[in-house]
Every structure is written in structure tokens, then in C-alpha cells.
Structure 1
Amino acid sequence: MGPNKKTAHLAGLLYFLVVITGIFSLLYVPSQLIVWSNPAETVENIKSSESLFRLEILSGLLCYIFFLLLPWVLYKLFKEINKSYAVLMVVLAVISVPISFISLTHKLDILSLLSDAEYLTLYSPEQIQAQVMLALESYHHGNLVAQAFWGLWLFPFGYLVFRSGFLPKFLGVFLMVGSCGYFLDFAGRIAYSNYSELWLSDYITIPASIGEIGTCLWLLIMGIKTVVPIAKDAKAT
């Protein structure tokens, strides 16, 4: 197995771990615990399933660590295709990581709010519930900012996939279209208060999901050709 094929499988493995931990921490656990219209029920859910909530935090932490490593491995894979785009891909991806880590601290704040600390007796149950919901809002606001970069990094990544010659071009197209969809979703949520009620909001990030999961599985299962063809713009800097 050549070094590029090994790199491809490593990238696929890291991407797979990002996807699995991301789905668990960003989608599954919140769907089980958070009821935005009912703070009391949300607090009770977190208290009764504290181990699940803690596992969500750990899963999120691992997700961001894997995502920090992923672009560096992808850089090794694509740098001969176009070094400038490969560097841009890494920079845009890595920028999102500290934002995500900072957002995760709001989940730790929730654990503090629901602890048995003596100073919390100064707050009524309703005030605790409000603080918990505020912490959840702050967490989601941080993720919203990170989402802009989750989208932006996909464009140079998709371009490199498209030009590589060792990965299917359609995956590159989905990644580039998905990049635009991610950013439009971010802009829509910032600019329009009722954006989530629009039918478009449920579908706009689907191309990104297809591109990312498809690329992840292709790298993990199929890998790449042992000999990497160098694209016409390989000498670009």
C-alpha cells in the first residue's frame, strides 16, 4: 500500500470519527434532552440523564480534536494538486476549532448550574432553568459562528477533490455546492428571525452532507489510486 493510499484511509478514518461523534453530540443527544419550549422539562431531562449529557460533551470534544487533525492529513493528500487551495482548506477548517471549543464550555456551565453547589441556593428553580436555557442558546450561537467556517473550508476541499483525478468529481461538486449552502444557512439564520420556518432551511445543507459523508466513505473504503496524478495547476502557490 503506497503512502498516498495510507494517507487517504487515515483521512477517511478521521472523517468517519468526525461524522459519528458529530451526529451524536450535535443531533442525537440534543434531540433526546432539549425541549426549547419547556425549560423545566429540559432541566429535568438533563438531570435524569446526566451521564448521557456528559457523554455528549466528551463526544463533542473528541469531534473537534478529530476535526483539528483531519485537514492536516487532507493537506498531505492534496498539496500536490494545488498547494494554495490546500493551505486555504486547512486555515478555514482550523479557525472553526477554537470557536467550537469555547462554545463547548457553555455545556460545562450547565453541569455547574445543576450541581449541588451551595451558592446555587440563591437562585429559584425558575432562575436556574432560565440560566440553563441561556447557556444552551450561547452554545448554539457559538456553533452558528463556527458553521460559517464549516461551510467555507468545503469549497477549497471540494475544488481539490474535483481536480484531483483520484476521487470522483461529483463528490467535489457536492462539496462546493454544500459550501455555499452552509454559508447561506448561516447568513439566513443571522439575517432573518423566522428563517427556520422556511422550507429551504430543511434542505439547504443536504448537498454538504452528501459530499462530506460520500467523501468520508470513499476515502475510508476505496482509498485512492496509488499513483496520484498531478493536476494542471499543481505548481500553483
Structure 2
Amino acid sequence: MRRHRGFIDSDPSRIARIAALLYLSTVLLGIFSQKLIGDQLIIDSDPAATAANILVHSGLYQLGFAVYMVEMVCNVAMTVLFYVLLKPAGPVVSLMAASFSFVGCVLKTMSRLFFLMPLFVLDGSRSLHGFDSAQVQSLALLMTKVNTQGAAVAMIFFGLYAVLKGVLIINSTFLPRILGIIGILAGFSWLTFLYLPVAYRVLPYTLALGLLGSASQIGWLLIFGVDDLRWKARATDWERHSANEFESDLELRRVERQGRST
């Protein structure tokens, strides 16, 4: 028990509020980059206009990439804190949820490299001297579409993360179950990205449900945090169970060594 004392003595409400702030930052930064930069400069049906917009506003475009990266940093940090916060409700499920979130972060980060690539394609590099201007512009637009599709695939893993996080909240006793129910529904809505034609058709409803799930969790955690006493009780139970398993494993190994020695 002594080796886990630091975990039990953690301030869960403080962890919850920091996680909520990171969650809020992730949402706002993503909206800023997508709606105020990406959607304003990228025109899906017009490669020439997209290329002109990116070149004229190259600084703004690079800012969009930088904001995307900060968004992912916040997402990773948020995932770690939610893992710690929800670990007493189910350590294995909490680890699994965090793993899905990390996979989503990796996929989304890699897709953002394609968001950046048009700046290099459109800069007049001699490496593309075999392509005419129309082909280069089309290639740049294609890269932005790969970025979009890669981010869509990442949403599948974020959806799985949301579902498991919702299950943990329901089982936690230190957070309202309604937050978990809304989170599960939002997570399942993100799973529509398993089939993109359906995902884009129902996207407005998916975004609305996702925003509801995010806003409810962020708002509750910022204002109320968690029930500290119940969290510490669950954490103590988990640590005691973990310590008993550790001692049982040591005893089993000791018996096996004695058996081999005789």
C-alpha cells in the first residue's frame, strides 16, 4: 500500500478541472483551425482557388498547422489525466480507453502533415518541374483531402475512447451517470466514420451530439469536479486489491522456488 500512497493522496477534483480545461482547449483549437482557417482557405471543388488562397495566406495556413499540433498536445495530456481520474472505476478499461485515444492522436497528427504539404508543393520547387501548374494545384488539393480523410479515420478511435470513458463514468460512483450515458451516445455517433458516406450524411447530428457530450463533461468537471470522498474510496479499494494480487504473486513465486530447490 505504501508504494501507491501518492496515487490515493491525489486531488481528484484538481485533476478533473485540469483535464476539463485541456478538453475545452482541444475542442476550441480544433474548431479554430478547421472553421476559421481550413474551411476558409480550402475550396474542395476548385484547386486553383485553393492554391491561390494558401499562397496568399501562407502565414495563416502555417498558423493553422501549429494550432492543430497544440490541439494534439492538449489531447494527449487530457487523455493521461482522464486515465488517472477514471482508473479507480476500472484500471483495465481506463487503460484500454487511453490506448484508443492515443491511436487517434497519432493518426490525426500524421494526417495533419498532409495539411502542411501543400505549402511545399506550391512553392515552385524544382522537384515538381515535370508537372504543370494545374497538376500541382490538383496535387495540393488532394493532400488537403487526405488530411481530412485521415482525421475522419482518427474519429473512429476517439469514438471508441468516448464509449469506454462513458462506461467508466457510469461505473465510477463519483460522477453523474448521465454524463456517461451522453458520452456513450456521442461515442457511437463518431463510429459512423467507419462508413464515410453515412458519416458525412449525418455529420450535423454527429457534431451536435459530440458537442453535447463534450460540453456536459467539461461543464460538470469545471464547476463541480468529482466526489472526492467516493473517488478516494474507490482508489483505496483498487490499491488494496492490487497490493493483495502483488503479494499473492510473490508468495506463489516463493513456493515455486522452494519446490524447485527441493
Structure 1 unaligned segments of length 5 or more: list them: none
> Which residue number corresponds to residue 251 of structure 2?
none
Task: Please give the TM-score of this superposition, normalised by the length of structure 1.
Answer: 0.87
Matched, 1:212 2:220: no
> Which residue number corresponds to residue 227 of structure 1?
229
CA-CA distance at 1:178 after TM superposition: 0.9
2:101 aligned to which of 93, 115, 129: 93
In structure 2, C-alpha distance between the alignment counterparts of 1:29 and 1:221, rounded to whole Å: 31
Verify the 8 A CA contact 1:60 1:104 in the aligned structure 2. yes
CA-CA distance at 1:121 after TM superposition: 4.1
Structure 2 unaligned segments of length 5 or more: list them: 1-9, 243-262
1:157 aligned to which of 140, 146, 165: 165
Verify the 8 A CA contact 2:186 2:213 in the aligned structure 1. yes
Point out the structure with the larger helix share: 2
Give the paired residue count. 229
In structure 1, C-alpha distance between the alignment counterparts of 2:187 and 2:199, rounded to whole Å: 18
CA-CA distance at 1:195 after TM superposition: 6.0
In structure 2, C-alpha distance between the alignment counterparts of 1:207 and 1:195, rounded to whole Å: 13
Q: For the aligned residues, what is the CA RMSD?
A: 2.3
Verify the 8 A CA contact 1:22 1:63 in the aligned structure 2. yes
Task: Please give the TM-score of this superposition, normalised by the length of structure 2.
Answer: 0.80
Amino acid at match of 1:217: G
Matched, 1:54 2:56: no
Counterparts in 2 of 1:158 and 1:97: CA distance versus 1, 3 Å: same
In structure 1, C-alpha distance between the alignment counterparts of 2:35 and 2:163, rounded to whole Å: 24
2:12 aligned to which of 4, 14, 17: 4
Verify the 8 A CA contact 2:83 2:98 in the aligned structure 1. yes
- Structure 1's consecutive aligned runs of 4 or more residues displaced over 3 angstroms after TM superposition are 118-122, 234-237
CA-CA distance at 1:89 after TM superposition: 1.1
Verify the 8 A CA contact 1:162 1:173 in the aligned structure 2. yes
Structure with more relative contact order (C-alpha pairs < 8 Å, separation 6 or more): 1
Counterparts in 2 of 1:222 and 1:49: CA distance versus 1, 3 Å: farther
> Which residue number corresponds to residue 49 of structure 2?
41
Counterparts in 2 of 1:87 and 1:195: CA distance versus 1, 3 Å: closer
Counterparts in 2 of 1:201 and 1:107: CA distance versus 1, 3 Å: closer
In structure 2, C-alpha distance between the alignment counterparts of 1:171 and 1:74, rounded to whole Å: 14
Question: What is the aligned-residue identity percentage?
Answer: 24
CA-CA distance at 1:171 after TM superposition: 1.7
Q: SS state of the match for residue 126, structure 1?
A: helix
CA-CA distance at 1:29 after TM superposition: 1.5
Q: For residues 67-116 of structure 1, what are the alpha-carbon distances to aligned partners after superposition, in whole Å with 9 as ceiling and x for unaligned?
A: 11211111111111111221111111111122112111112211101214
In structure 2, C-alpha distance between the alignment counterparts of 1:214 and 1:121, rounded to whole Å: 52
> Which residue number corresponds to residue 183 of structure 1?
191
Instruction: Say which one has the larger Rg.
Output: 2
